[in-house]
Amino acid sequence: MLSARTAAASPAASLWKRGDGAGGRGDRCTSCLEVRRRAAAVTVRAAQPKRVEAVAMESAAETAEAEKEVAAEKEVAAAGGGVEDKYGEDRATEELPVTPWAFSVASGYTLLRDPHHNKGLAFTEREWDAHYLRGLLPPGVVSQDLQVKKIMHNLRQYKVPLQRYVAMMDLQERNERLFYKLLTDNVEELLPVVYTPTVGEACQKYGSIFRRPQGLYVSLRDKGKVIDVLRNWPERNTQVIVVTDGERILGLGDLGCQGMGIPVGKLSLYTALGGVRPSACLPITIDVGTNNEQLLNDEFYIGLRQRRATGEEYHELMEEFMDAVKQIYGEKVLIQFEDFANHNAFDLLAKYSKSHLVFNDDIQGTASVVLAGLLSSLKVVGGTLAEHTYLFLGAGEAGTGIAELIALEISKQTNAPIEECRKKVFLVDSKGLIVSSRKNSLQPFKTSWAHEREPVTTLLDAIKSIRPTVLIGTSGVGRAFTKEVIEAMASFNERPVIFSLSNPTSHSECTAEEAYKWTKGRAVFASGSPFDPVEYDGKIHVPGQANNAYIFPGFGLGVVISGAIRVHEDMLLAASETLAAQATKENFDKGSIFPPFTNIRKISALIAASVAAKAYELGLATRLPRPRDLEKYAESCMYTPVYRSYR
């Protein structure tokens, strides 16, 4: 098929028609310029829409139709319907007919294998004829809702979670809109499949289940050519990149190149929960080798078979990567660091936060959602944030990140110096309570938490010494909150706050059942991985999940719609406060301090609006003028996975 781009470049472009092979008109001749004009009609910008140049029309009816489309384009642009919405993915373009445009108009067999535009059995009979599909599909036409119902029925037949994960990934690769429709309509049931805990097992077995590559792989072999690797990605309107080096995947350790499951899973949630369109998302894995002997000896391992590079070699590759991203996509692309080991995570965030738009979900995203949970829990236990005492088991990325954000929020509420606010927070690592006498042997990111206290070596002793009101686990050590630990918390707290945050479920410091049972149903509990409701003494307790998915999708959307060029800590605090405000008395009565995930799209829009508002307030936003109603603007920019009608 002659592409519209090729035809437009030829001298006879204005005369090019699709005829009937005998010099006649065929069905309905459409000029190449008309095809290109209609394709451009769905590219909507938040700024003043460009004038659509007049093209030759074949009849008065076509002229009227074109005028309606131009009017619709202006209406959508005025509503703030997205930025560079090439595929017509935002909510504001939902009612507009679009052209399945690639390098040429996708049709026939090619259309059925294009995940951006494939609708499977939902193509209408009119679309069969318009896009050469007649005979390529069975004659039955079904709705998208019926397709969702069928796939959910099939998924529920699988008894093994990994089988569901593979089935979901297969669907994403063949029908993108159906995948996201399925996920958004069944978010509470499917979130554990595409994200934690199942994604952890998927990463462990990624080499065995690998089918079709998703995202980009940047390895040591690409050193000096990283920019060429990025240029191989077909999309140029990338707005969010999630990147990992696979060294600390969840609580599972070094999974090397097979950590790609994490960026893929995170970005599917950016789209399903936060409305960042899939064409704007790019998952990347930096492969510098692995120290996992089991993987190095695994015949199905898909990464470099060498020990992990460190030091100068590692940082040179990362610097080349960061420079290449900025050169290709500019400085308004959000780069989310994911599952880097402590020794690199803090260094990378500190190094690039001043020159790039970077965000570390393990340090900042986890902190934001946990702070939201703590703010919400105050409505149950009473008091202010500053009146409570916090004890952490685990002093890595998550633990120190949460601790710092708690201190920042206390400082904001009380106007006290941040150094004073940190004294309300205590951390226990593998060697015991972090105290000033250990300062010389501590890693730099731990020194802020070395307080003047007597050293103790066990968590139980730390609890007895400090008498905290809040106990938070980020250690990655399963069942570290023993019966003695939980009972000690309950002995001097009427409503002990216990957050068991380590992922996956097997690494959780305690289960929901243990927390409720050992506190006689008095615990205010939240976990990182999902737990089923627990019945204790005749009452059903629904444990809250302090899941980063509450925060990062809406946070990313807010950064995108504001055109922010840097991430500021106040933007994280704004996201936390907004999420905390969404928890209701109905949630508290059930024992949960977080709102249900069924409302996550609305919550993400609210978070996006608050994050964007803070970016404008701080002078970090570049998308001007500022929309009058940021919440409505955020909603209009959100990807909607309903099928579009094709011309």
- DSSP letters, 55-84, are ---SSHHHHHHHHHHHHHHHHHHHTT--SS
Q: How far apart are CA 479 and CA 459, in angstroms?
A: 12
| 49, two tokens | 């829409």
CA-nearest of 520, 511, 533 to 490 is: 520
Q: From the CB of residue 586, how many other CB atoms can be counted at a distance below 10 Å?
A: 10
Q: Report the pLDDT value the prediction gives residue 71, as an integer from 0 to 100.
A: 56
- In terms of CATH architecture, what is 385-546? 3-Layer(aba) Sandwich (3.40)
> Positive or negative CA dihedral for 574, 577, 582, 587?
positive
Q: Whole-model pTM? A: 0.83
547 is an annotated ligand-binding site residue:
yes
Q: How far apart are CA 615 and CA 629, in angstroms?
A: 15
254 is an annotated ligand-binding site residue:
no
Mean pLDDT of successive 10-residue stretches along the chain, which has 647 residues: 40 35 39 43 38 40 55 48 70 82 82 95 96 96 98 96 96 97 96 92 94 94 97 94 96 94 97 96 98 96 97 97 96 96 94 96 96 96 97 95 97 96 96 95 94 95 97 95 98 97 91 96 94 93 93 97 97 97 91 92 98 98 95 96 95
Go through 294-327 and write b for each residue having 16 or more CB atoms within 10 A of its CB, e for each that does not. ebbeeeebbbbeeebbeeeebeebbebbbebbbe
* Alpha-carbon distances of 9 from 12, 165, 307, 496, 548, rounded to whole Å: 8, 45, 51, 71, 48
Phi-psi region of 88 (alpha: psi -120 to 50; beta: other; left: phi over 0): left
362 is an annotated ligand-binding site residue:
yes
- Contact (Cβ atoms closer than 8 angstroms) between residue 568 and residue 614: yes
Q: Report the pLDDT value the prediction gives residue 160, as an integer from 0 to 100.
A: 95
The residues assigned a catalytic role are 195, 266
Q: How far apart are CA 389 and CA 517, in angstroms?
A: 23
Element (H, E) at 216: strand 216-219
Torsion of CA 481, 482, 485, 491, to 10 degrees: 120
Helices (H), 471-565: 483-492, 512-518, 552-562
89 is an annotated ligand-binding site residue:
no
503 is an annotated ligand-binding site residue:
yes
Helix axes 144-155, 187-194, angle to 10 degrees: 60
487 is an annotated ligand-binding site residue:
no
- Contact (Cβ atoms closer than 8 angstroms) between residue 518 and residue 490: yes
- Contact (Cβ atoms closer than 8 angstroms) between residue 96 and residue 39: no
CA-nearest of 630, 624, 642 to 557 is: 630
Statement: 108-174 belongs to CATH 1.10.15.40: no
**Which residues of 503-582 form beta strands (DSSP E)?**
524-527, 534-536, 539-541, 544-545
Radius of gyration over every alpha carbon of the chain, rounded to an integer in angstroms: 26
Instruction: Break the chain into its structural domains and give their ranges.
Output: 108-174, 197-360, 385-546
- Contact (Cβ atoms closer than 8 angstroms) between residue 101 and residue 131: no
Helices (H), 582-629: 585-589, 600-617
CATH of range 197-360; options 3.60.10.10, 3.40.50.10380, 3.20.20.20, 1.10.3720.10: 3.40.50.10380
| 253, two tokens | 């350790």
Domains 108-174 and 197-360 share a fold: no
- Contact (Cβ atoms closer than 8 angstroms) between residue 420 and residue 388: no
Query: How many helical (H) and strand (E) elements, i.e. helices and strands, does the chain have?
Result: 27, 14
